[in-house]
Amino acid sequence: SETHFGLTGLAVMGQNLARNVAHKGFPIAVHNRTTEKTETFLAEHGSEGQFTGSTSVEEFVNALTPPRAIMIMVKAGKPVDDVIAEIKPFLAKGDLLIDGGNSLFTDTERRVKELEAEGLRFLGTGVSGGEEGALNGPSIMPGGSQEAYAIVEPIFTKISAQVNGEPCCTFIGAGGAGHYVKMVHNGIEYADMQLIAEAYDLLKNGLGLTNEELHEVFTQWNAGDLDSFLIEITAQIFARKDDDSDGYLVDKVLDKAAQKGTGKWTSQSSLDLGIPVTAITEAVFARCLSSFKDQRVAASKILPGPTGGKIEGDRQQFIDDVRDALYASKVVAYAQGFDQMIAAAKEHGWTLNLGAIATIWRGGCIIRARFLDRIKEAYDAQPDLANLLLAPYFTEAVGNGQTGWRRVISEAARLGIPVPAFSSSLAYYDGYRRANLPANLIQAQRDLFGAHTYERTDKPGNFHSQWVE
C-alpha cells in the first residue's frame, strides 16, 4: 500500500514512535542523518511492520506519496530548521511537516508562518511520555492548523495512549499552542518532581525513614489521591538495590539535578505574562542550586543553622502531614500552570480547551495522575473558572490539607530542611486568598521616590503626594 507517513530522526524518541506507528498497521518511511542508525534500526525492528528505509533526504521524501506527512524527531533548536531546509526542496504543496521535539513555542510560531506562506503545512506537536510513552502510547499535543491536524489525526489518535477508550491526543490550538502546552506540561513535571523530592527530604532526614519505609509510604500514597506515575516510580526507586554495594541505588546517585530547558522556558514565559508560577520556578531554581555541589559542600562547613535535628511527636501524623502538604502544593502548582495557559492563550490568540488538555494528560505522559480527572471535571463544570483553587473540589481539598501543610513547613524551617516548592506554594495560596496585601506600602514607596502615583481605596483616579515635608 502507499506510504504517506515518514519520520526522520531515529534517536530514542524517533525510533520508538516509528515502531509505534508501524505496530498500528501504518506503513512508514524512516530516515536519519547518520545512515548507520537507520540500518541498525531496520535490522533490529524492520520485521515489526511496513518500513521503508532511505539513505538520503531525497530518497526519503520520494518514498512517500503525497499528501505527505513527515515527522521530525531531532534535537530542538537549529537542527529542526536545518532539517526543514533540507526536506523542503523535495516537497509538494499541501505536504505536512510535523515537529515532534521539544521546540520553543516561538520557534514553532515562526515555522508555521513561514511554511504556510509557501503552501506547506506545519504542526508543532508536543509528545510526552519519554521513550516508553513513544513506543506504547504517548500523550500528543498538536498545534498549528486544524486542517493540517486532520491529515494525521487517524495516525495520532491510534498511536497515542488511550484512557477509558479516549485517545490522549487532541488538537490544541493555532501556531505554537501545542508546543506551549507541552512546555507547561514539562514545567508542571518539574514542580511535581521537586515537591516529591521535598517530601522525601523531610521523611528521610526529618523523620529518619529508611528506603524500605519510604517505599512503603509512597506505595500507600499511590493508592490514594496522589495516585500518579511519578509517585509510582518514586516508590519503585526506593526498592532498587545497588548492583555494586550492599546499599540502595538512590543513595549512590549524585545530588546534582540536570535540566534541558523546558522548565526554564515555562518560568520565563510566566514572567513575560506576569503570572506567578512560583512552584515551577522554585523547582527550576532548586535544580540550579543542586548543581553547585562543590559550593554546597564547602558552605555546609561554614554557614550556621540547624542540622541533623529530628521530628518529635507522632510519626504517622507527620507522614500524613507531608502527604497533605504534597497534595496541596501540587494543586497550587497545577492551578498556576493552568493560569499560565489561560494568560498565554489570551496573549497569543489561542482557544485552549483546558478540560481537554487535562484529559489528554491522564495517560501516556509523565504527569499522568488520577487528579487530572478532577481538573477535567472542574473545567467541565465551569469552563471560565478563574483559578483551579476556586473549584469546589480543590477548595475543599486544600482547605482540609492546610493544617498539615502549615505544620510541615514550620517543622522544615525549624530543622533547616529547605522546602522551596512547598513553602512558595503556601505563600501563593495565602497571598491569593488575602483581600488585602501590603502592596499599599510598595505603591507609597514608589510614589515617594519616583512619583509613580498610586490609586486610592476610597475614590477613583491617580494620585501623587508630597510624602515628606
The residue (of 74 and 326) whose beta carbon lies closer to ligand NDP is 74
The residue (of 73 and 97) whose beta carbon lies closer to ligand NDP is 73
Closest CA to 258 of 228, 290, 233: 290
The cell for 305 is 543553622
The residue (of 42 and 76) whose beta carbon lies closer to ligand NDP is 76
The cell for 230 is 511519578
Strands (E) across 107-255 are located at 121-128, 139-144, 162-163, 166-167, 173-174
* Count of chain residues binding ligand NDP (CB under 6 A): 22
Burial class (CB in 10 A: 0-12, 13-18, 19+), 253: exposed
**Of 20, 32, 205, 269, which one interacts with ligand NDP (CB under 6 A)?**
32
CA angle 293, 299, 302 (to 5 degrees): 160
Q: How far is the CB of 80 from ligand NDP (least distance, A)?
A: 8
Q: Does 356 bind ligand NDP (CB under 6 A)?
A: no
**Of 34, 47, 164, 316, which one interacts with ligand NDP (CB under 6 A)?**
34
Q: Does 296 bind ligand NDP (CB under 6 A)?
A: no
Q: Does 11 bind ligand NDP (CB under 6 A)?
A: yes
The cell for 322 is 507531608
Q: Does 130 bind ligand NDP (CB under 6 A)?
A: yes
Q: Does 75 bind ligand NDP (CB under 6 A)?
A: yes
Active-site residue identified among 109, 182, 198, 282: 182
How many helices (H) and strands (E) in the chain?
A: 19, 10
Rounded to 10 deg, the angle between the 78-87 and 105-117 helix axes is 20
DSSP secondary structure letters along 285-320: HHHHHHT-HHHHHHHTTTS----S----S-HHHHHH
Cβ atoms 395, 189 nearer than 8 A: no
Q: Does 173 bind ligand NDP (CB under 6 A)?
A: no
Q: How far is the CB of 75 from ligand NDP (least distance, A)?
A: 4
Q: Does 176 bind ligand NDP (CB under 6 A)?
A: no
The residue (of 76 and 390) whose beta carbon lies closer to ligand NDP is 76
**Of 70, 74, 332, 419, which one interacts with ligand NDP (CB under 6 A)?**
74
List b or e across 437-458, with b for residues whose CB sees 16 or more CB atoms inside 10 angstroms. eeeeeebeeebeeeeeebeeee
The residue (of 66 and 130) whose beta carbon lies closer to ligand NDP is 130
The cell for 433 is 486568598
**Of 44, 48, 58, 82, which one interacts with ligand NDP (CB under 6 A)?**
82
Active-site residue identified among 114, 132, 158, 189: 189
Name the phi and psi angles at 232, rounded to 5.
Answer: -60, -50
Eight-state DSSP code of residue 205: I
182 belongs to the catalytic site: yes
Cβ atoms 395, 412 nearer than 8 A: no
Q: Does 13 bind ligand NDP (CB under 6 A)?
A: yes
Enumerate residues 89-128 that contact ligand NDP by CB under 6 A. Answer: 101-102, 127
Only one of the segments 27-35, 106-114, 159-167, 443-451 lies at the binding site for ligand NDP (rule: CB under 6 A); that segment is 27-35
Q: How far is the CB of 55 from ligand NDP (least distance, A)?
A: 12
**Of 69, 83, 97, 284, which one interacts with ligand NDP (CB under 6 A)?**
83
Q: Does 37 bind ligand NDP (CB under 6 A)?
A: yes
The residue (of 57 and 209) whose beta carbon lies closer to ligand NDP is 57
**Of 9, 137, 143, 187, which one interacts with ligand NDP (CB under 6 A)?**
9
**Of 7, 10, 197, 415, which one interacts with ligand NDP (CB under 6 A)?**
10
Only one of the segments 74-82, 219-227, 402-410, 430-438 lies at the binding site for ligand NDP (rule: CB under 6 A); that segment is 74-82
Closest CA to 74 of 101, 42, 36, 110: 101
Residues in contact with 465: Cβ distance below 8 Å, sequence separation at least 6, in sequence order: 447
HSE on the CB side for 56, CA within 13 Å? Answer: 4
Q: Cα 359 from chain centroid?
A: 15
Only one of the segments 29-37, 345-353, 375-383, 416-424 lies at the binding site for ligand NDP (rule: CB under 6 A); that segment is 29-37
Cβ atoms 345, 354 nearer than 8 A: no
The residue (of 60 and 422) whose beta carbon lies closer to ligand NDP is 60
Q: Does 234 bind ligand NDP (CB under 6 A)?
A: no
The cell for 388 is 483551579
Eight-state DSSP code of residue 240: P
Residues in contact with 116: Cβ distance below 8 Å, sequence separation at least 6, in sequence order: 122, 145
Catalytic residues: 182, 189
Which residues in this chain contact ligand NDP in the complex, by CB under 6 A? Answer: 9-14, 32-34, 37, 73-76, 79, 82-83, 101-102, 127, 130-131
